[in-house]
Structure formats: C-alpha cells, structure tokens
Structure 1
C-alpha cells in the first residue's frame, strides 16, 4: 500500500501546478505505474487468499478501493484541468493568429502608402514591438505567418529611405547576430542529444533568426544557405530519432501482443485444468508473463492503452477462472470425501460378517473406492480407516475358514480311526 500512497503523493504535486499542458506524459505515466502496481498487489493478495484457503486458513482481503478511487478521482480532475487549459491555449493561439495577421495587414499598408519616413518607421516600430509581445500561434500556421512577416520586414527596410542611413551598421550587426544563431544551431546539431531540448531550442533559434533584420544582399544568399542546411540537418536528426522510436514502439507493441495471446492461451488451459497442481503451474506461468510484460518498454500511446486493456482483461479472466475452479474443485473434493466416509461406514458395519454376500459387498466397496477418485489431503486418513475395516473383515473371514479346515481335518482323522477298527 505504501507504493500506491507514494504514487498518489506524486500525482498530488501536479495539482499545485498552474500549467498542466506540458505535464500530460508524466501524469499518464503515473497512472500506468499506479495501475501496474495495483494489479500486482491485487494479484499477490488473491494468491495469498487462495494459498491460505488451500491450507485451511482464512485471511482478510485487502481493500484497495479507497486509494484507487482517490487516485482516479485526482487523475480525472487533473486530466479535465489540462484539457481545459489546452482549449484555452488553443483559443489564445487563435486570437494571437488574428492579431498577427492584423499586424501584417498594417505593415502592408505602411509599405504601400506611407510616404513620410519618420511616421512609417515609428509605425513599423510599434507594429514590431506589438508583434514580439504576441504569444504563440497555432503550430501549423506559425511558419507561413512568420515567413510572410519576415518578408514584409525586408521589403519595408528596402523601401524606406531611412534604411540607406542605417543599413551599413544594421547589416553588419544583423550579419553578426545571424552568425551567432548559426553557431548555436551547429552546436545544437552536433552536441545536444535530448530531442525535446533540440526541438525547443530549434524553435527559439528560428524565432531569433527571423527577428534579426536584413543583411547585405551579397551576404544573404550564403547565410540563408548555411541556415537552411543546418536547420534541415537538425530536422533530419529529430525525424531519425522519432523514426527509431517508432520502430522500437512497434516492436514493443508486437511483444506485448504476443504476451496477450500467451495469456489468452493460458486462460484456455485454465478452463481445462482439473487439479491444484495444474493451477499452481499455470499461476507461475502467469506470473512469468506479467514480469515479461513489465520489462517491455512503452509503445504508441493509443495502441499501448489498447494492448494493456486486452492484457489486463486476460489476467482478470484467468484469476476469475481460478477462483471459480477452486470453488468447483473444493465442492467436488467435499463430495468425494463424503462418498468415501459412507463406504468406510458400510465397511465397518460388514467387518464382523463372514457370509458370501458380505464378501461380495466388500469387494464392490473397494471398486467403488477406486472409482470415486482422490480426496486430497484427507485421502491418507480416509484410506487408513477403510483399509482397516477391510483388513478386519478379511481377517475374520480367514479365521472362520481356518476353523472350518481344522474341523474337516479332525473328522477325517476320526473316519480313518473307524476304518482301522473295522479292518481289525
């Protein structure tokens, strides 16, 4: 129970966070760990109860419902909060998109119609400052919107006469800044291994690149070529990682599906099992399959959840069969014990009888005993009583036969004596 409480405590830490959007995987991983741990503890409890019952003992079932409900209620609440935050984030991004498109239209108007350089430059600065303050926009629109804005910025600077006065200084500074970004991108490509960090820093550096103003035309083509070359290489690195991950996930899913089939086959064998020894062997196999499943890494979330449900269903079905079979076997065992007790009672009633019918009945009782089958732990004690009654019967029978043989021999001797007298 301590493990479950620890997982619940870990989940409760997320309830204190304001932003749950980036925490989806961690929260779901806690849920999977909780369900795996709960399943294992329920399985162990079931086995302990069955072993105790086999030993003639009784132990109380552990009630996991309170902590299970507490965990799932908190998980659902966090899941709903995160869902609402995502909806809010999406709504904000759409509003930000509208604002950025409006700023783009304003910039177009300045480029097309404003003739006063001072007014145009001030308007541009206002637009640019507002643009930088606008938050994220939908990912699928980000590249196109940013490229259009960057394109208009370049057009603006190229069309403004003031650009002639500041272009040399700005071009040099912008070139240096773009070189710095290129260097950071190359470091990111060559040194950083964590893909999440690579993705986040790539977005940041691309934003930084786009925010830097224009450079000399003779420099721009070379800078742009280097920039897109390293960016494509980083994207190749990201794609290669996810492709490798996808292949690993596929292998993991296939391995888990194989274990699901194995569990389903064990359920079929469980339906045919007729002895406690067989059930013990099957239970050990189930434990082994569960351990194998735990060792397999994750798969794609949707498939992983589906395969887990199938595996959990097979596990539950197995232990439900085991519970029901145990009841059936116990009932059958009780019936065999009662049947053998009746045979013992009848054998004890016949043990002092020596007639032919009694002999035939004792022989029939012995056949009936064999046909009833094994009665488990009580077998040796019951057999000792039954055999004792049978041995007593045959001992009495042997004694009677011995007395009869002795009487015949004595009569034979008397007859011989009479014959000898007659001869004399």
Structure 2
C-alpha cells in the first residue's frame, strides 16, 4: 500500500472514530477512559483463532478442567466485582467533590463525637459551623448534629409529656418547646437558607460550565481529521485543554459522561496526531512521567496510617489521573493502570480493615450500652418508697444517661433497637417516679390542710391575754406542726411564714410579761436571801410557844416575799433545812413541822402556774403513800413472827416504833396530797 493510500485509510478510520455517539463509547477499547479500560473483562477480548480439529481434540480435557477452573473463575469474578465497587465508590466521591472546587477544605473540618454532646453543646457546635465554615462543606456535620439533637429533644419531650399526663392533662392540649430548641431551629433555618441560596447559584453555574465543556468537546471533534497544519492543530489542542481546565465543575450526574466523552475524543486526537509522531510522543512521554509519579504516590499512601487522609488523597490522584493528565502510549496504558489500580486496591483494603476495627469498637460500645440499659432497668424495676430514695435514683439515672451518650456509637443495624430499649427503660422509671410524686402530692395537700388549721389556731390566739390557758395551746400546735409531713413546695414558705409570725408574736408578748415578772422575782430572791441569813442566826428563847410563833412569823414573811426565778429556787431547800434545825429545838410533832414547811412548797407550786409541775408533785405524793402503806404492811406481817414474844423485848419494841413512825409519815403524805389537790 502506498503512503497516500495509508494516509487515506487512517483518515477514514479517524473519521469513523470521531463520529461515535457518546452512548456508544463503551463498544470499543478506544472509546474508554483509562479507568474504564482497566475494568474490561478478559472475556470481552477477541479469542485467538482455533481450528475445529484443535477444539475437538481438547474438548474432553476442557470438560475435565472446567470443574477445577470454577473456583478460580469465581475468585476472579469476586475480585473484579470488588474492584468495580471500589472504583464506583471513588468515581461517586470524585463526582460529588467535582461540584465544589474547594472540596478539600471540607475534609479538614473535624467530625466530632456529637453523640456524646448535650443539647446546649450541639447548639454551640452548629452555630460555630454555620458562622465560620462554607455552607457546602458542613452538610454531613449538620445532619449528624441534627440527628443527635432531635433524638435528645424527643427524649426530653417524652418526659415532659409523661409529666403533663400524670398531672391530669389531656394529650390534645400538650405542647412543648424550650429556649434551646428555639435557638437550634433558628440557627438551622439560617443554615438551610444559606444552603438553598448556594445550591441555586451552583446549579446555574454548573449548567453554564456543562454547556462550555460540551462546546469544547465539539471543537475538539471538529479538529480531528481537519486538514490544517499539525503544528497548528496541536497548538489549538493545547488551548482547548487550558480552556477545559478552567471551565469549572459540572453537575455530578453528568460528570462521568462529560469526562469519558472528552477522553474519548482526546485519544482520537492523539491517534490522529500519529501523523506527526514528534508532538504526540512528546506529550505521551510527559503524561507517562506524571502518571508514574502518581502511581508512586499511591503506593506510598498504601502504607499511610491515617486511613481517611490516604483515601482523600487517593481521590485527588484519581481526579488528577482523570482530569489533568492526558493519555499515554497504548503499549503502557494497561500496565500503568494495573499498577495504579493495585495501589488503589491496597488502600481500599486498608480502609475496609479500618472500618472493621471501627465495627469492633462499636460492638464494644454496644456491650457498654446494653449494660447501662440493664442498670437503668434494674433501677426502674424497684418501687419508690421515699423522697430521698427517688432523688438518689434520679441522680443514678442521670449519671447512667450521661454514660450512655458518652459510650460512643453502636453498629448501625442495632442502633435504633438500642436507642428504643434505652428510651423505654428510662420512660418506665419516669412513670414510676411520676406516680410516686403524684401520690406524694396528694399526701402533701392533706398535710397542707392540717397545717392551715394550725395556722388559724395560732393567728386566733396570738393576742390572747390569758397566758396560763393559751401557752399550752401554742406549745401543742408547735409540736403538732413538726409531726405533720411536707406540703407542696409552692405553699411551704408562705404558710410557714404565717405560722411562725403568729407564734413569734405570741411568745414575744409572753416573754415581755415574764421579763417584767423576772425583775420582781430577782428582787424576791434578794429579800429571801437576807431572810435566810436572818433565820440561820435566829436564837430561840427556850419558850416553845413563843419560839413556835417566831418560827411561824419567819415562814409567813418568806411566803409573803413571793416567787423567785426558776434557776434560783434552790433557796427554798436551804430555808427548809434551817427550819428543820429550828423545829428540832422545839417539842413539836413531826407531822406539824413537816406541814408548816410544806406550805412553802405549795405556795411555790401555785405561783409557778405550771399544771404539769403540780401533776408531777401529786404523782410523787401518791407514790410515797403507796410505798409507806407497803412498808407498814410488811412490818405488821413481820410482827406475826413475834406473837409469843413479850412486847418488852427490845427487838419487838423497835419494830413497833418503826410501824408508828411510818403511820405518822403516811398521815403526813396524805395531808400534803390534800393540800396539793386544793390548788
């Protein structure tokens, strides 16, 4: 074939290639990008010519080997599917990032543990992201924050609903919001508004960029087969490449088609350019050098310990491979793509292993959360019997709740189930707690009624002038107040103030009166002290009748002085001792002497104005009467042992004297009791 014929044949082939529509590109190896070429199954390659005789001669061997080859074929198919899945994941990620020229900034924003944050913390994080970051870079962060915030708010709202219903509310009347929810909604609204504005503008720009790129492709198609000078064609091609680089992102759903079509026509142009090998080979060589560097970097990334960083850079390498670097000579295309794919596969395997490790962590988190749920259930199953117990359990539930949210994420397949189990057990506890406090509130309202009755008694008596009758009443209602349990918190301070004010008012009046009385009592003490000293130094004249009159005069003077302070009543005992000494010098009966002294005691009881003190004195006297009677009975019984003994016997005489002494004492006790009962 002549050179002219060869040239014509090549031109016809080129024209046929450039006329391929975009949806038929996958029909030939030449129409694929390097990415797609690497995925062409070996079964699609043209088989070598084999004669019928050769086929017949090997048919039996082929049948025997078919079974043995099946596992290998399955492995190859599985490996191919995995590679396809990895490549699809990369392509999708690249297509998504292609819409955002600053996508690399998105990957630099930390994805924090939003699950462990409280609602106020989530609001602060959302506000910071919306204020400081580009709206297109925080979609995943905002969605994660919203999911966690909604879950926590739902839990809080369920609790408020339970409380509302427990208090007798109707479900149709229930509505709950909170300042933190309103703040979150406001920030989230700003985010959506910014996001919508951004994507509306982006949509317009993407469409313009798509039209620009399609126009460049049409120009590129028009260059193939043109009769212009090759140098001029190559120069124009380079200009088109520069325009292509600056054309901007296109819609992600059009990304793959646009780039595949572009690469298809670029390869056609290079095939057409073989007429001038110098330009083509120089470009092929440059592209090969660039792609070998990218392969080397991908192999380095396969050893990178930061898996997310490695995957993001791998995306960039694939994007550069696809968008920035042109084709290489055909004899290198399959080989370098295989190397690049192998490094890509290794990074994906590392990534899968990383995810497997994360799954193990999530499984451990699941165990922790299940234990927390069991601990909550154990608390929820217990009956609440006191306010202190309820408060302790509330603190425990709150602590377990915090632990639950800080325990980390669980496998996605059990996430909803775990969350529902947590909520249900917390809800069970809250229902028991609410039921307890509902009953407690009923009891508190009963207590409120009782205390209000005491308040009315206190207020009715606070100005009463009859201190003798009123003081026991006021003391009794104070004692009753302490025995009544709690009242509703909203009423507690108010009724306590009313009760306290009424009691204080009364006792302040009582103390004022008693302080005045105490002044008189102190003066009485000073007088009795002087009289006590005078009685001690009193000298009897030896005339019993006159001496008795003198002693009675001192007793009358003592009684006339009146009451002394309670803490100084010891002076009464001292005076009685002096009287004992004086009476011992007189020939006077024991009973008479005792009764004269007891007059002082009776007067002191009367002046004390204390019914309980009089009751104690009366009880004491009755006890003494009983004891004395028992003593007399015992002594008389003992006398039966001396029935045959003469009364002149010293022992018998002693027993008889003892009996007589006890009888006199008995008469004295009875006389004292009669005096006390007369008060």
Q: Name the residue aligned to 1:285.
A: 396
Cα deviation, 1:283-334, whole Å, max 9, x if unaligned, reads 2431342132133113578986896687567647745653552242243366
Q: Does the CA contact (< 8 Å) of 2:307 and 2:351 recur in 1?
A: no
| Residue number among 180, 183, 193 corresponding to 2:296 in the alignment | 183
Larger radius of gyration, structure 1 or 2?
Answer: 2
Q: CA deviation at 1:255?
A: 5.2
Q: Does the CA contact (< 8 Å) of 2:447 and 2:486 recur in 1?
A: no
Cα deviation, 1:71-125, whole Å, max 9, x if unaligned, reads 44213322443355456546655664565455445534443x5332456445533
Segments of structure 1 that go 5 or more residues without pairing to the other structure are 43-63, 343-373, 379-391, 414-424
Q: Name the residue aligned to 2:280.
A: 167
Matches within 5 A, 1:149-160: 149-160=262-273
- Per the normalisation by structure 2, the TM-score is 0.40
Distance 1:183 1:314 in 2: 55
Distance 1:337 1:15 in 2: 53
Q: CA deviation at 1:243?
A: 4.5
- Residues 287-296 or 314-323, more deviating: 314-323
| Residue number among 407, 414, 417 corresponding to 1:296 in the alignment | 407
Cα deviation, 1:164-212, whole Å, max 9, x if unaligned, reads 12233323222221221112212222225141x3233222212222332
Inter-CA distance 18–284: structure 2 relative to 1 (3 Å threshold): closer
- Per the normalisation by structure 1, the TM-score is 0.59
Inter-CA distance 202–306: structure 2 relative to 1 (3 Å threshold): same
Alignment of 1:207 onto 2:322: no
Distance 1:98 1:265 in 2: 66
Cα deviation, 1:353-407, whole Å, max 9, x if unaligned, reads xxxxxxxxxxxxxxxxxxxxx97699xxxxxxxxxxxxx9xx99xx89x98xx89
| Structure of greater relative contact order (alpha carbons < 8 Å, 6+ residues apart) | 2
Alignment of 1:220 onto 2:333: yes
Distance 1:249 1:145 in 2: 41
Distance 2:377 2:203 in 1: 43
Matches within 5 A, 1:292-371: 292-299=403-410, 311=422, 315=426, 318-319=429-430, 321-323=432-434, 325-332=436-443, 335=446
Q: How many residues align?
A: 336
| Residue number among 129, 136, 158 corresponding to 1:21 in the alignment | 136
Q: Does the CA contact (< 8 Å) of 2:273 and 2:280 recur in 1?
A: no
Q: Name the residue aligned to 2:499.
A: none
Distance 2:186 2:286 in 1: 56
Q: Does the CA contact (< 8 Å) of 1:253 and 1:299 recur in 2?
A: yes
Q: Does the CA contact (< 8 Å) of 1:274 and 1:329 recur in 2?
A: no
Distance 1:171 1:223 in 2: 13
Q: Does the CA contact (< 8 Å) of 1:333 and 1:375 recur in 2?
A: no
Q: Does the CA contact (< 8 Å) of 1:19 and 1:85 recur in 2?
A: no
- Two-structure CA RMSD over aligned residues (Å): 5.2
Inter-CA distance 207–145: structure 2 relative to 1 (3 Å threshold): same
Distance 2:154 2:212 in 1: 51
Distance 2:154 2:393 in 1: 18
Distance 2:411 2:204 in 1: 28
Segments of structure 2 that go 5 or more residues without pairing to the other structure are 1-117, 158-176, 454-482, 488-614, 637-679
